[in-house]
Amino acid sequence: MRYSFNGIFLSRNTKRLRKRIPDMEPPKEISEFVHLLGQNPDWQVEVSPGGEKAGNWWVDIQAQAKDSHLTVEWRPQKGFGIYSGENIGYGEAPTEVFRDTRLAAKRVSLWFRQKHLLGIKDVRELLNISQEEQAERLGKNQAAVSKFEKRNSDVLVGTLLAHIEALGGKVDIRVRFPGFDTPLNIGSV
């Protein structure tokens, strides 16, 4: 993997990066993220500060073999925002946000392999939870978890909520119309 800082391509050694541009040292989260990405030799990574010393940083990742590109923005106290849609433009919100550096790097790796939004199985695997452990949390058997993960339509909202909550998450449903976007209150299930 090659990575650069403000368009200057550097080695994987972040100390060399600090020597060239000492007043703009990347935050430890960016250094760790780039280090975790460094395990893939087919990627070219460019790191750029967003303008302010304590502000956001941008990481552009180009996969040479598949001619794919992904942009990641890191913000203090917010985490890593991944921009992966075809219609992402200036001022758009990231498609996904990760507060954990390792999970963000793992997600980038997964995106370059599959290029789609996360499904329930992807989320479970990202969290390193086995089907057996998920089944135990739900009070079901492993076969029921496997069957649910293979479904691609007609999922009951209550079942989805139960699976996400068993993984430690929450579900927010958002609706989009030509004139507005809003979260949808589906009540308690």
Instruction: Note the pLDDT tens digit of each residue in 50-68.
Output: 766 668 899 988 887 666 8
The DSSP-derived string for 54-80 is: TS-EEEEEEETTTTEEEEEEEETTTEE
* Distance of alpha carbon 96 from alpha carbon 83, whole angstroms: 7
* Distance of alpha carbon 85 from alpha carbon 99, whole angstroms: 20
Assigned token pair, 94: 């990231």
Q: What pLDDT was estimated at residue 187?
A: 64
- How would residue 175 be classed by pLDDT, with cut points 50, 70 and 90? confident
How many C-beta atoms surround the C-beta of residue 10 within 10 A? 16
Domains of the chain, by residue range, sit at: 1-116, 118-189
Residue 38 near residue 3 (C-beta atoms within 8 A):
yes
Task: State the pTM of this model.
Answer: 0.75
Residue 78 near residue 36 (C-beta atoms within 8 A):
no
Assigned token pair, 96: 């996904």
* Distance of alpha carbon 105 from alpha carbon 85, whole angstroms: 18
Residue 124 exposed, middle or buried by CB count within 10 Å (0-12, 13-18, 19+): buried
Helix (H) or strand (E) holding 159: helix 157-166
For residue 153, give the amino acid letter: S
CATH of 118-189, one of 3.30.43.10, 1.10.760.10, 3.40.50.1820, 1.10.260.40: 1.10.260.40
- Residue-wise pLDDT for 65-92, tens only, equals 666 888 999 999 899 999 876 656 667 8
